[in-house]
Structure 1
Amino acid sequence: MPITKAPDKPAYWLILSRNKLVRIESQSTLFFARHTELQFASEYIDSAVRIGEYRQTECFMLDMEQQEPDHHNAELIGLRDALISENDDAFNIIARAWQVAVFLRTHRYCGQCGSQMQRVDWELATHCHRCQHRCYPRISPCIIVAIKKQEQILLARGRHHKQGMYSTLAGFVESGESLEQAVHREVMEEVGIKIKNLRYFDSQPWPFPHSLMMGFLAEHDSGEINVDGEEILEADWYTADSLPVTPPEFSIAGRLIKAALQ
């Protein structure tokens, strides 16, 4: 996804301002327009980044960074709200746009010698011409697991969850760990139980800010729930007809919950 000259033909555009997405007149955050129609973001057109295709049409990202759009009908909406309000097809392209923007914002200077980095024009990377250090977007591997015990599923409320939201357990993979080792460690650390019959389910890029979630299904082996009180505040076993508020199904957590209960 190199830096690309804006096309003359209509394309889809995602425009970022601060840490939010721009929306006009409560329409989609994906603008279908020629770049000449985006007057409020015209000074950023030369920095357009092609981030893929949406509905078989090229899609570009413009990052206004800290500048707010000068448009009387513009509003800024959070990334989570945008992902929920858009259709499922838009999820990946919005997530990718945000991860690209975060990378470019945080790699202006070389981490090795401190010089200003330059964008590479044929791949998504930044390069230091002084010391030849090159950087690519960071991807942080995470595991997420749905644990079942007979007809019940373990759901937990984390410190950073919205009020009343319960979800499956998740955590970052540590250096030197396999995915499977990370699952067993996170489960033991967060709720104090052992699991068995661990099997891979699916994966999903997750732009908060640059995670790759790798999902697993597992069964309870032994032990009683004992939350760590730090990451996890509450956890319990739930049946399909007694579920608390859980993540939507466009998220891998929502799909894991549905798969486990089926």
Structure 2
Amino acid sequence: MSVREHAVFVKRYTIPEKIDDASRVFCFNDGLLLINKDDPDNSLPSFLEVSRLNGNLSEWHYLGEQDGAPSCCVGVDEGVEVPESFEFRDLRSLYSFLGIELWRLAGYARQVVDWGINFRYCGRCGRETSFMNVERAKVCDHCGLVSYPRISPAMIVAVISDGKILLARGRRFRGPYYSVLAGFVEPAESLEECVTREVREEVGIEIENIRYFHSQSWPFPDSLMIAFFADYRSGELTIDPVEIIDAGWFSPDNLPKIPPVGSIARKMIDEFKSIYSRRHRISD
């Protein structure tokens, strides 16, 4: 079956006694995914192919099955030699190549691999941890501390004023584009409080009418993006130079370079364009 075909993926947590050689594997090297660049319909290596790599592998994780076809994930050291038809690629660049369902599963796999590497030892007593069979968790056999994959909640917000959207260019962006504002949730902070605080800190304005839009797992490395729209209330744009290079208000027909398809930021900007371009046509 082509990996692009849609089928329900059933998550599993117990590693089988024997993994079939044909099982597909999400193999990561420092966050980069190993793919078969010559065959988009069978883009992932098999368990047998990964097992033959000349490099040190991290512990294996069993992810589950899709139409009975099992999937695993593993990490491999830098510098490993791979067959000529394979290469390691940044997962961000593979959205179209893999298709949305496989891309999401690859994101899940990346987070699991990172968690396995980072939580090999107990954070309380330093002893080695072992897998739990009933859930995606590790337990310390010495002190009993249970560790789960790390998930970092972050808000992302599109602020609207008079038919224009607030976009900013952040210093940590991976490309020369403008996007909506985002930031991580602080301890004891509600999502709405986080939205208000981040907007105030980054661009110096006040907002109102905060409303939920969508959410998206963003495995770079472990964010859960919770998206909102909000309306401008008061204040002048005053950017935080530590975080922001530039910010401004943009109309639907005069947008700067924006994030690529696949990110929730792009989905929000496209939603803004759809709504406010339509309103502009109606008003004309």
Q: TM-score, normalised by structure 2?
A: 0.83
Deviations 1:129-151 (A, max 9, x none): 11111111111110000111121
Equivalent of 2:92, from 68, 80, 95? 80
* Cα distance in 2 for residues equivalent to 1:171 and 1:48: 32
Q: TM-score, normalised by structure 1?
A: 0.89
The one-letter amino acid paired with 1:162 is R
Equivalent of 2:44, from 26, 31, 34? 31
The corresponding residue for 2:160 is 148
- Asked if the contact 1:115/1:130 (under 8 Å) is kept, the reply is yes
The one-letter amino acid paired with 1:222 is S
Q: Which has the higher contact order (CA 8 A, sep 6+)?
A: 1
Is 1:200 the counterpart of 2:218? The answer is no
Is 1:132 the counterpart of 2:150? The answer is no
The corresponding residue for 1:177 is 189
Task: Map residues 1-262 of structure 1 onto 2, 5 A cutoff.
Answer: 1-5=12-16, 6-8=18-20, 10-28=22-40, 30-31=43-44, 33=46, 35-36=47-48, 38-41=50-53, 47-53=59-65, 57-66=69-78, 68-83=80-95, 85-261=97-273, 262=275
Deviating more after overlay: 21-30 vs 110-119: 21-30
Q: Compute the displacement of 1:258 (Å).
A: 1.4
Deviations 1:144-175 (A, max 9, x none): 00111121111000011134210000000000
Q: Compute the displacement of 1:125 (Å).
A: 1.4
* Cα distance in 1 for residues equivalent to 2:24 and 2:82: 20
Give secondary structure in 2 for the equivalent of 1:242. coil
* Cα distance in 2 for residues equivalent to 1:42 and 1:229: 46
- Asked if the contact 1:99/1:207 (under 8 Å) is kept, the reply is yes
- Asked if the contact 2:151/2:224 (under 8 Å) is kept, the reply is yes
Give secondary structure in 1 for the equivalent of 2:120. coil
Change (3 A) 1:53 1:144: farther
Q: Compute the displacement of 1:24 (Å).
A: 2.8
Deviations 1:210-258 (A, max 9, x none): 1100000111111111101111111000111111111123211011111
The corresponding residue for 2:8 is none
Aligned-CA RMSD value: 2.5
Give secondary structure in 2 for the equivalent of 1:31. coil
* Cα distance in 2 for residues equivalent to 1:183 and 1:110: 34
Change (3 A) 1:111 1:45: closer
- Asked if the contact 1:51/1:93 (under 8 Å) is kept, the reply is no
Q: Compute the displacement of 1:91 (Å).
A: 2.3
The one-letter amino acid paired with 1:236 is G
Give secondary structure in 2 for the equivalent of 1:259. helix
Consecutive unaligned residues of structure 2, counting only runs of 5 or more, are 1-11, 276-284
Q: Compute the displacement of 1:19 (Å).
A: 2.7
Give secondary structure in 2 for the equivalent of 1:99. helix
The one-letter amino acid paired with 2:269 is I
Deviating more after overlay: 57-66 vs 230-239: 57-66
The one-letter amino acid paired with 1:156 is A
Question: What is the percentage of aligned positions where both structures have the same residue?
Answer: 35
* Cα distance in 1 for residues equivalent to 2:125 and 2:147: 13
Return structure 1 stretches of 4+ with deviation > 6 angstroms: 42-46
